[in-house]
Amino acid sequence: MKYIQNALPLLLVTLWFGCDDLEFPDPNAPSTDVASVQTLVTGAESGLRLAFALYLREVSSVGREAYYLEPADPRYTGELLRGPLDPGGFLVYTPWAARYRVIANCRILQNTFADDVGAVGFAKTVEAYQLLMVVNMQNDNGAKIAPYNGLESDVSSKSAVFTEIAALLDAGYSSLTSAGSSFSFTLSSGFSGFDTPATFAQFNRAIRARVAVYMDDWSTALTALDNSFMDPSADMDLGVYHVYSSGQGDLGTGGVSSGNGMYADPTASFVKLMGHPTYETDAEAGDPRFSSKVTERSTEITYDGLTSDLAPTMWTGDYDPVAIIRNEELVLLKAEATIAGGTSGGLTEINIVRAAHGLPDAASGGLTQLLHEKRYSLFLEGHRWIDMRHYSKLADLPLDRDGDTVFEDYPIPETEIEGG
């Protein structure tokens, strides 16, 4: 009976998340402990991809970075752009549920293998990252934090959620720095270069820097960046990625075995994910970030009163990786923390990024220039809406049709509210 009780959470997690093809230290006869830790870690990493493309499509649409033109589901151009957001609907519930499933996995990992400090550091980092994605959407409506007792858990305020995220990351970092030279488990190739406690700790600090910037905690952001993998002289694409395969059970970001969920042939007769027209009209002449991320189609795509000729070209196939966090973002976060919401500063880091793309130096720094650089460097990586909201600039986003609006936050799913 004890064995069944211990195995049941692992079975549930496996059913929830699927598995990657990862090797155990001894694939022919792995120990029970190693196999169990590996199953939970693999399940967590697989779960990170669940509904990730949906998250990117939603925040990019609300932030007027892109349209998702889906004739089979008009909610993408109706509910997301005009409202109201349905607390009982797919677009609100699915991203929330996907993130909390990973969080549940991480809590099992922490509780079951509390003596494995590397696994605990991994789990706390991932839990914090998932909570961040939730509060990115729900914003002032808050989210649920530990102990996660379902309907018995109250919704915590945005401030409390960010405090919890920061604490999880800091505790995870402490565990990682005392976890020795290697993990007891294997990570996918998306964590290549970040698959030991010391290097995964750099990933932890990268997320911590992002969180600190959102909290306007500029000094903490700069300290975290110093301990992250930020390297102004390195490739701007250095970072951590979601990776995909055609293997059975490999959940794509759409929640099915369909790859990354972001790629579409830009020359197809109809492309659903299209860049917002202002991505072209606001672009700096000759900016290779524009020309490398979208192509101007010879024929426009029109649906529901929305038109674009900008097809994304950031992915060349269904199984291309999708970024979680890259060096380019970290360099720009350093600029952002230096600017600290002001009208100057950050010019050194801004020009490092511009030089990496063959662009001339900007004449001045400050928030307006920073937001321009982030918009073109981090296109479709899930930042535009959050950045504009952070600095109270949502009113600057375009409205394409009469009756359209830009939301500040998502509602709490009605299934998460007692009596909802």
Q: Which of 137-151, 235-249, 374-388 has the highest mean pLDDT?
A: 374-388
- Structure confidence at residue 270 as a pLDDT band (50, 70, 90): very high
* Residue 420 confidence (pLDDT): 62
What is the pLDDT, as a whole number, of residue 5? Answer: 35
Least confident stretch, 66-80, 82-96, 195-209, 406-420: 406-420
Assigned token pair, 385: 């809406």
Checking 267-271 for CB contacts under 8 A at 24+ apart, the result is 267/297, 267/311, 270/69, 270/301, 271/69, 271/297, 271/301, 271/311
Q: Where are the domains of the chain?
A: 1-13+33-185
Task: Kindly report the pTM of this predicted structure.
Answer: 0.91
Residue 8 one-letter amino acid = L
Distance (Å, whole) CA 41 – CA 43: 5
Cβ–Cβ < 8 Å for 109, 126: no
State residue 248's pLDDT score.
56
Cα(279)–Cα(68) distance, integer angstroms = 15
Which ranges of 139-282 would DSSP assign to H, the alpha helix?
158-176, 197-214, 218-226, 278-281
- Tens of pLDDT, residue by residue over 78-109, are 999 999 999 999 999 999 999 999 999 999 99
Got the DSSP string for 49-68? HTTHHHHHHHHHHHTTSEEE
Cα–Cα distance between 250 and 257 in angstroms, integer?
6
Closest residue by Cα to residue 17 from 256, 204, 244, 187: 256
Quick: pLDDT tens for 279-295.
999 999 999 999 999 99
